[in-house]
Chains A and B, each alone.
Chain A
Amino acid sequence: MALPSYAGPIERVWYYAYRLICAAIFFFLIVPILVIIPLSFNAEPYFTFTPEMLSFKASGYSLRWYQDIVNNEQWLHSIKNSFIIGIAATLLATAFGTVAALGLSRADLPFKRLLMAVLISPMIVPLIISAAAMFFFYSAPFGSDFALTHTYAGVILAHAALGTPFVVITVTATLVGFDKNLIRASSSLGADSVTIFFKVIMPLILPGVISGALFAFVTSFDEVVVVLFMAGFEQRTIPRQMWAGIREQISPTILAVATLLICLSTVLLATIELLRRRNERLRGVTY
């Protein structure tokens, strides 16, 4: 939207004012995330820029908060937990979600709207309600005494349930442009349905599956309410550890962890973007 040549003076002023407003809004969006990164290298236990930092003296910066993470058993344990729970929940959510998306994208599925509404509901129901409900139910599923609270299995199942809607949505979206003739062709050439799934369908919907899986992973990786209610000390995850840190003692170690998480989200974002472009290219969508 370059400025048209016929623009009048008011329009010209507005054009620049508008750009300035947009710049301010982008600033609001991104600064809170960027400000944490330099502060995590603070040599002092403060949450603000010290004079040494502002004058870019080496003495103002240090890696001590990163060393803190490495030396702290609890942080290491929570990092390990986050990955164990995140990966297991992602695998479950992706498997269930992908297969369901195949069914959901078939035109002849009965009660499609209702089914979709039910399957998406974990994303819509406020987390506090989901967490409370799961806490009650998982502590005595169907009245049995096989409690899932305070176990890895319980947290993984809960996170998988919360992650499936993302897989369903992304994979269904990929399947919208899927050419059904490919299935018919391969089936007429003698492929059985398993072969068709892995050789024909999977490669085409893979970008959708992967981005759905990444969404599911992030959902689990970033989730704290269910963990607060259901997990025991053993199952503490990174967000749970950060939650305790923020509530009780906000030490700069949290900023170091936050910086690492920002790096991780940057990597995930880049992956998603690449996948999206690949997907669009495959389907011939161009800008």
Chain B
Amino acid sequence: MAQMTDTAGPVMTTADGTPLKQALARATRRSKIRAFLLVAPLLLFILVTFIIPIFDMLSRSVSNPEVQEAIPETAALLADWDGQGLPSEDVFASMAKELSKKENRREIGRMAARLNFEDSGFRSLLNKTQRRIDRVKEGPYKDALIAIDKDWGETRVWKIIQLMSPPTTLSYYLNALDRTYDQDGNVVMQPDWKQIYVQLFLKTIYVSLGVTVACLILAYPISYLLATLPPSRGNLLLILVLLPFWTSLLVRTTSWIVLLQTNGVINDTLVWLGVISDENRITMIYNMTGTVIAMTHILMPFMVLPLYSVMKTISPSYLRAARSLGANPLVAFVRVYMPQTVPGVGAGSILVFILAIGYYITPALVGGQDGQLISNFIAYHMQKSLNWGLAAALGTILLAGVLAMYWLYDRIVGIDNMKLG
């Protein structure tokens, strides 16, 4: 670049003789680098402590190393099997050899756990075989294995091992969408009693939408009041919104338990007032009702604050102008005022929806059996069933949904315009 400007004839230079254009470019570049260097430490920090862990977890949703690690040779031999009848004696022999390796015990245990997610019975089949394999001294191994457990004579068993041999799999995603492989490797629906996640995703979306709408309906009137009151009184009332916002989530959840439970404050009050009898106390918690009430309360400030900040910028003179031009109050409000609040409605709604769709704590504590959302099942597979691949697949789907909303938020509001408090 420097040569190009040099050959172009007389150039403007700085005091030390560098061409001005070049000096400018260098200064801009330096300034860019300096700006970037300021951001770099945090970027690195977030990458290491947050982004890499997230990708690391997402990779678990397709990772399927268990069979490969436990029985590499058998897996390689099985890859060539045509899936008809039973595999050849070679496959049985290599399976027997690899199952008898004592140092492989941990890998085989993990393979057994993995295969058991696909088909119940693999755990005992493999463990039983492993325990008895030492008695098998020589071939034919086919008969020997079938003698240990007749399941080794089932085409289905070998098909599943073959299907689960590749180091990556989509089976967790299929599972997360209530689908599975049949024994020929076709994607089919899970049996009725196993179908749960699609419904659960839909339920999570409905609940989040419901909470968002409830928040909007409740937040709109008070935001309008806050924005139109004189500042001194408006600020005082704003505290009623901000105090819940700053109060611990667990405190708020606790108070809803105290209020809503069968022997709680609300039921007691209703009984005392004679509205209901002592025997017919209303069940308001440990079900969906409890989840929705508590979530609406907890997320409402996230709706009020964006609405309020948008409404504060709308001049009341528009409404007055509309009125003076003959519009009745309702028409004036709906046609003139409400359209101006759309950015606030959009920002608040997306924010509440994003937060609601990933909610875990409140449903776990007050949701009972039917108030559980997708996050609770991710936690369940993380901590209880140990099906980490499925947890990762469910998490990835949830994350994709949230990121789509995040992108939408960025388009509508702009991340830089996000405000707090």
Contact = CB atoms under 8 A, between A and B. Distances in A.
| A and B: bona fide binding partners | yes
Interface of A: 1, 11, 14, 18-19, 21-22, 25-26, 28-33, 35-36, 39, 46-49, 92, 96-97, 99-100, 102-104, 106, 108-110, 113, 115-122, 124-130, 132-138, 157-158, 160-161, 164, 166, 168-170, 172-173, 211, 215, 218, 221-222, 224-225, 229, 239, 242-243, 246-247, 250, 254-255, 258, 261-262, 265-266, 268-269, 272-273, 276, 287
30 contacts: A18-B225, A21-B221, A22-B222, A26-B240, A32-B252, A33-B252, A92-B45, A96-B42, A99-B39, A103-B37, A103-B39, A106-B31, A108-B32, A110-B32, A118-B46, A118-B51, A125-B402, A129-B57, A129-B395, A132-B395, A134-B50, A136-B60, A161-B50, A222-B249, A224-B250, A229-B382, A246-B257, A255-B258, A258-B248, A273-B239
A155 to B, nearest CB: 11
Contacts of A132: 57, 378-379, 382, 391-392, 395
Given A132-B378, A229-B382, A287-B231, A138 B35 contact: no
| Chain B interface mostly | helix
Contacts of A104: 38-39
A49 B57 contact: no
Interface SS of chain A: helix
Given A99-B41, A100-B43, A136-B53, A243 B250 contact: yes
Contacts of A243: 250, 361, 365
Given A96-B41, A128-B378, A28 B49 contact: no
Given A246-B254, A258-B250, 4 more contacts: A129-B358, A242-B251, A254-B254, A258-B254
A35 to B, nearest CB: 6
A125 B54 contact: yes
Given A128-B358, A164-B42, A211-B421, A109 B35 contact: yes
A266 B251 CA distance: 13
Contacts of B359: 126
Contacts of B18: none
B222 A25 contact: yes
Interface in B231-266: 231, 237, 239-244, 246-259, 261, 263-265
A159 B406 CA distance: 21
A108 to B, nearest CB: 5
A131 B378 CA distance: 11
Interface of B: 28, 31-32, 34-43, 45-47, 49-54, 56-58, 60, 218, 221-222, 225, 228-229, 231, 237, 239-244, 246-259, 261, 263-265, 268, 297, 300, 316, 329, 354, 357-361, 365, 375, 378-379, 382, 388, 391-392, 395, 398-399, 402-403, 406, 410, 415-416, 418-421
Contacts of A239: 248-250
B240 to A, nearest CB: 5
Contacts of A273: 239, 242
Contact of B53 (A49, A127, A134, A173): A134
Contacts of B406: 117, 121, 124
A30 B246 CA distance: 12
A181 B411 CA distance: 32
Contacts of B418: 120, 169
A126 B416 contact: no
Q: Which of A99, A103, A157, A254 has the most CB of B within 10 A?
A: A103
Contacts of B395: 128-129, 132-133
A287 B312 CA distance: 10
Contacts of A115: 39, 43
Contacts of B415: 113, 116-117, 120
A35 B398 contact: no
Contact of A39 (B241, B251, B258): B258
Contacts of A25: 218, 221-222
B56 A137 contact: yes
B372 to A, nearest CB: 12
Contacts of A126: 357-360, 375, 398-399, 402
B203 to A, nearest CB: 16
A75 to B, nearest CB: 14
B43 A36 contact: no
B46 A261 contact: no
B45 A96 contact: yes
A272 B242 CA distance: 10
A217 to B, nearest CB: 11
Contacts of B37: 103
Contacts of A138: 53
A99 B40 CA distance: 9
Contacts of A109: 32, 35-36, 39
A221 B121 CA distance: 45
Contacts of B43: 100, 115, 118-119
A246 B248 contact: no
Contacts of B228: 1
The 10 closest A-B pairs by CB, nearest first: A126-B358, A103-B38, A137-B53, A100-B42, A1-B228, A133-B57, A103-B39, A32-B255, A287-B231, A133-B53
Contacts of A160: 45, 49
A28 B54 contact: no
B56 A35 contact: no
A14 B330 CA distance: 11
B261 to A, nearest CB: 7
Contacts of B419: 169, 173
Contacts of A1: 225, 228-229, 316
Contacts of A33: 243-244, 247, 251-252, 255
Given A33-B244, A160-B49, A18 B221 contact: yes
A222 B329 CA distance: 44
Choose among A28, A102, A157, A221 the residue with the greatest number of B CB atoms under 10 Å from its CB.
Answer: A28
Given A102-B38, A106-B35, A108-B28, A28 B297 contact: yes
A269 B255 contact: no
Nearest to A239: B250
Given A33-B252, A169-B420, A261-B248, A129 B399 contact: yes
A138 B58 CA distance: 15
Contacts of A215: 420-421
Contacts of A158: 49
B399 A125 contact: yes
